[in-house]
């Protein structure tokens, strides 16, 4: 990266747009100063700060005074709370640069971060380019960087953004380790895009409020409508991942539903199955966004899945074989699984818990390969039985289902584990107060009868 030469004189200039709502003083100023200190003068048109109607005192006059002495920095204020999408668009409409570079308001740009982004857009106008996102420690604010290789963005069927290692097919396509990495989705906050191309693509969905969903919506749109989404391994920007945001994020669900309704065709059902609440969420009017899709003659979601994100497993969701896996004897109890954390789905025991009908932790799919898949997450986990054990645990699913992950859900509702020749029963261990699914000799008991349900009846 250090040896890379840039054609400064011909590269486009950028407006850096930073929307903020009730951000702390130090993190906000750190962002601004780091942009000014690390961006070559010739490439930086301006820095536009958009105050999304913050109410914290330090962001009023004191901020305006602090910024007034800084060259190239402009402060715009929304006159009502807009949410990050419309706040960013306020900045975009005031921008004079040919490239828009969006940043969150708690970042630190690393030396050399800007050149690769602008160079790439100079080469290819329809490329939307992200930096590698480095970690800034939430407690100490130390710049920790990023151990290991850059990752690509994905998503799971709950429409949660996920990180993944670069797949083999992409490594083969890259001509060098400092070539851009194509990514199915982006985290959302840090990217550069040609202003003209951003407008052509329909900028953002202005029906989205506050926070969430816009990153996947924009990612699907970029790919489906003919652009490309990339990460440049030479560009690094640090970001503080806070434990808690200074605002409530309860509008995120409606935003995701808008994304699903416009871009996912029938695949949106896979999302609704895993989050039944989403189906009930009022999401407003998406007619104009569907017209945009029509006008730009964008490709369908099937194309996106097959071409851009073939690593994502597409569930079968056969009628009657997905949802809550409920026990007949215990009546109100369902399979339930709580992954150790968002990035590591396998490893724990499957338990039984009161059926709640909200999908998520109680969503399972029984596949034609005899697996019981927990496929709200990506990568997916499958119910397994370890040797000489009678409990059900989660392992990662395999290309071909291993014998210890095969269960036969029979006509009478019994759930037969092929390898051990035992049946799954709702039971208690001596040491336990809680019911759990355990392997027992097969009987006619209702505690060994299981059925799928989509909703709590």
Q: Does 92 bind ligand LR7 (CB under 6 A)?
A: no
Q: Does 156 bind ligand LR7 (CB under 6 A)?
A: no
* DSSP tag of 254: H
Q: How many CB atoms lie within 10 A of CB 7?
A: 11
Q: Between 82 and 390, name the residue whose CB sits nearer to Mn ion.
A: 82
Please list every residue from 64 through 83 that binds ligand LR7, using CB under 6 A. Answer: 83
Site string for ligand LR7, 259-288 (x = CB under 6 A): ------------------------------
Token pair belonging to 22: 């009730």
- Judged by CB under 6 A, the residue of 49, 117, 180, 190 near ligand LR7 is 190
d(CA 233, CA 117): 10
* Site size for ligand LR7 (CB under 6 A): 23
Q: Does 336 bind Mn ion (CB under 5 A)?
A: no
Residue 413 — left, alpha, or beta (φ > 0 → left; ψ -120 to 50 → alpha)?
left
Q: Between 2 and 243, name the residue whose CB sits nearer to ligand LR7.
A: 243
Q: Does 110 bind ligand LR7 (CB under 6 A)?
A: no
261 CB burial (10 A radius; 0-12, 13-18, 19+) = middle
Q: Between 261 and 300, name the residue whose CB sits nearer to ligand LR7.
A: 261
d(CA 132, CA 215): 16
| Coil/strand/helix, residue 238 | strand
Q: Does 52 bind Mn ion (CB under 5 A)?
A: no
Q: Between 27 and 194, name the residue whose CB sits nearer to Mn ion.
A: 27
Positive or negative, the Cα torsion across 210, 211, 212, 214? positive
Answer with the entry of ligand LR7, Mn ion, none that 115 interacts with (C-beta below 5 to 8 A by kind): none
Q: Does 158 bind ligand LR7 (CB under 6 A)?
A: no
In whole angstroms, how close is the CB of 28 to Mn ion at the nearest point?
A: 12
Side-chain half-sphere exposure of 283, counting CA atoms within 13 A: 21
d(CA 252, CA 188): 13
User: What dihedral do alpha carbons 57, 61, 64, 69 form, nearest 10°?
Assistant: -130
d(CA 335, CA 113): 47
- Judged by CB under 6 A, the residue of 11, 17, 21, 346 near ligand LR7 is 21
Q: Between 99 and 210, name the residue whose CB sits nearer to ligand LR7.
A: 210
- Judged by CB under 6 A, the residue of 27, 48, 91, 104 near ligand LR7 is 104
Beta bridge pairs of residue 365: 322, 373
* Site size for Mn ion (CB under 5 A): 1
Answer with the entry of ligand LR7, Mn ion, none that 116 interacts with (C-beta below 5 to 8 A by kind): none
Exposure string over 164-173, b if 16+ CB within 10 A, otherwise e: bebbeeeeee
> 356 with 405: CB under 8 angstroms?
no
Q: How many CB atoms lie within 10 A of CB 48?
A: 25
Contacts of 381 (CB under 8 A, 6+ apart): 337, 339, 345, 346, 373, 374, 375, 394, 395, 396, 397
- Judged by CB under 6 A, the residue of 211, 271, 304, 435 near ligand LR7 is 211
Q: Does 108 bind ligand LR7 (CB under 6 A)?
A: no
- Judged by CB under 5 A, the residue of 23, 45, 51, 104 near Mn ion is 104
Q: Does 32 bind ligand LR7 (CB under 6 A)?
A: no
Q: Between 133 and 193, name the residue whose CB sits nearer to ligand LR7.
A: 133
d(CA 284, CA 350): 38
Answer with the entry of Mn ion, ligand LR7, none that 219 interacts with (C-beta below 5 to 8 A by kind): none
Q: Between 154 and 379, name the residue whose CB sits nearer to ligand LR7.
A: 154
Answer with the entry of Mn ion, ligand LR7, none that 144 interacts with (C-beta below 5 to 8 A by kind): none
Q: Does 304 bind ligand LR7 (CB under 6 A)?
A: no
Would you say how long the chain is, in residues?
457
d(CA 297, CA 134): 36
Q: Does 129 bind ligand LR7 (CB under 6 A)?
A: no
Q: Between 1 and 245, name the residue whose CB sits nearer to Mn ion.
A: 245
Token pair belonging to 79: 């006159």
Q: Does 84 bind ligand LR7 (CB under 6 A)?
A: yes
- Judged by CB under 6 A, the residue of 129, 187, 325, 438 near ligand LR7 is 187
Please list every residue from 219 through 258 that binds ligand LR7, using CB under 6 A. Answer: 239, 245, 247
Residues making contact with Mn ion (CB under 5 A): 104
Q: Residues in the site for ligand LR7, rule: CB under 6 A?
A: 19-21, 23, 52, 83-84, 87, 104-105, 133, 187-190, 210-212, 214-215, 239, 245, 247
């Amino acid at each position: 990266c250090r040896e890379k030469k840039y054609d400064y004189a011909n590269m486009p200039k950028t407006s850096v747009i930073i929307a903020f709502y009730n951000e702390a003083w130090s993190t906000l100023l750190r962002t601004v100063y780091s942009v000014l200190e690390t961006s070559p003068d010739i490439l930086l048109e301006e820095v536009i700060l958009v105050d999304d109607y913050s109410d914290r005192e330090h962001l009023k006059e004191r901020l305006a005074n602090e910024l007034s002495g800084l060259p190239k920095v402009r402060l715009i204020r929304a006159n009502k709370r807009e949410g990050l999408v419309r706040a960013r668009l306020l900045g975009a409409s005031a921008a004079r640069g040919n490239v828009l570079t969006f940043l969150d308001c708690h970042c630190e740009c690393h030396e050399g971060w800007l050149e690769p982004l602008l160079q790439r857009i100079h080469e290819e106008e329809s490329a939307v380019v992200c930096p590698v996102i480095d970690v800034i420690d939430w407690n100490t604010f130390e710049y920790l960087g990023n151990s290991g290789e850059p990752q690509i963005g994905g998503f799971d069927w709950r429409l949660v953004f996920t990180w993944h290692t670069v797949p083999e097919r992409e490594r083969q396509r890259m001509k060098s380790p400092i070539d851009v990495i194509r990514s199915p989705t982006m985290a959302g906050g840090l990217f550069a895009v040609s202003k003209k191309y951003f407008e052509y693509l329909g900028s953002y969905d202005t029906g989205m409020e506050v926070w969430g969903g816009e990153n996947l919506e924009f990612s699907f749109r970029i790919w489906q409508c003919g652009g490309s989404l990339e990460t440049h391994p030479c560009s690094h920007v640090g970001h503080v991942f806070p434990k808690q945001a200074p605002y409530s994020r309860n509008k995120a669900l409606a935003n995701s539903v808008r994304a699903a309704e416009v871009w996912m065709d029938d695949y949106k059902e896979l999302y609704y199955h895993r989050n039944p609440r989403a189906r009930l969420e009022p999401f407003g009017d998406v007619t104009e966004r569907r017209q945009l899709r029509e006008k730009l003659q964008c490709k369908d979601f099937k194309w996106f899945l097959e071409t851009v994100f073939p690593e994502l497993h597409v569930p079968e969701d056969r009628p009657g074989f997905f949802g809550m896996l409920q026990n007949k004897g215990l009546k109100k109890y369902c399979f339930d699984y709580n992954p150790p954390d968002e990035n590591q789905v396998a490893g724990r025991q499957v338990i039984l818990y009161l059926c709640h009908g909200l999908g998520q932790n109680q969503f399972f799919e029984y596949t034609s390969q005899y697996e019981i898949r927990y496929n709200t997450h990506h990568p997916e986990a499958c119910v397994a039985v370890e040797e000489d054990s009678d409990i059900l645990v989660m392992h990662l699913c395999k290309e071909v289902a291993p014998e210890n992950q095969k269960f036969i859900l029979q006509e009478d509702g019994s759930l037969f584990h092929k390898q051990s020749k035992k049946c799954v029963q709702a039971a208690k261990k001596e040491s336990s107060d809680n019911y759990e699914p355990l392997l027992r000799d097969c009987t006619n008991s209702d505690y060994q009868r299981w059925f799928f349900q989509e909703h709590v009846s």
